[in-house]
Structure 1
Amino acid sequence: MTWPAARIYVAHLLSEIVFSSLTLESDSFTRQVLWKLLKVVKFGEMVSYQQLAALAGNPKAARAVGGAMRSNPVPILIPCHRVVRSDGTIGNYSGGGQTVKEWLLAHEGIPTQQPVCKGLGVTGTWLKPSCGSTSYKTSGRN
């Protein structure tokens, strides 16, 4: 087994163990959000709060997604750092603040300039189903 394959395998095992031990109601929106984030948004991808709400079955629940991210008991294994604002700015991160979130995204190869895109589609590192064009916006930091 190659090193990258081994890393993926170990990460998958850890995420399954951690997720199965969460003490959330099985039908709770928080559990649905965290499950979709874990299963759909892969290493090197990011998704907006609104998109994740839609993936979890309630496209109008972007604020509830933010609450789910805040209550995430294992922010590295269930990667809430991959959830960003709809305008492409990174937003907050309960696992250590914006600096940590920026570092984690950079570690995954996501540029420090975030794509800004209206609509849904897959464009670069964005998990978006129909975006025709992407522009870039700096996070406001040097």
Structure 2
Amino acid sequence: MTSPAVSITVAEAVWEQIKSSRSASDDHLSILQFLFGRNLERATRIVDQGGVRKVSAAPSGRSFFLVVGESKRKEEYICFPEHHCTCYSFFYDVVNRGEQLCCKHQIAARLAEAVGEVVEVEVSDEQLATMLSKL
């Protein structure tokens, strides 16, 4: 089994390559599949359905992602791709059990941003603060 630190380093390199070319090759997807398993396929479905929005505040430039879940309720989760997601799976599989490096929403946010499939939303700093206060 690969250590989490090595896996994260490899994933970061792949994300950078995808971002620089604005496309994910079969090799990129194979590596990500090895690292993230079933969550990669779920994340690609979210991206394909346009389920990732990047919320950016002005004038501060602070941002986070809103990522739609796959359930029938289509809940949106606040996601900071490198650090945190408000979904149940993040706390259960990533934080509590340590079975995953990240949740499908974090992967979807990274993938959508890297390939340019993210919907950009601009808000004021006050609106951003209000959105985050509901966490």
**Same fold? TM cut 0.5:** no
| TM score, norm. by length of structure 2 | 0.30
The structure carrying a bigger helix percent of its residues is: 2
Of structures 1 and 2, the one scoring higher in RCO (CA 8 A, sep 6+) is: 2
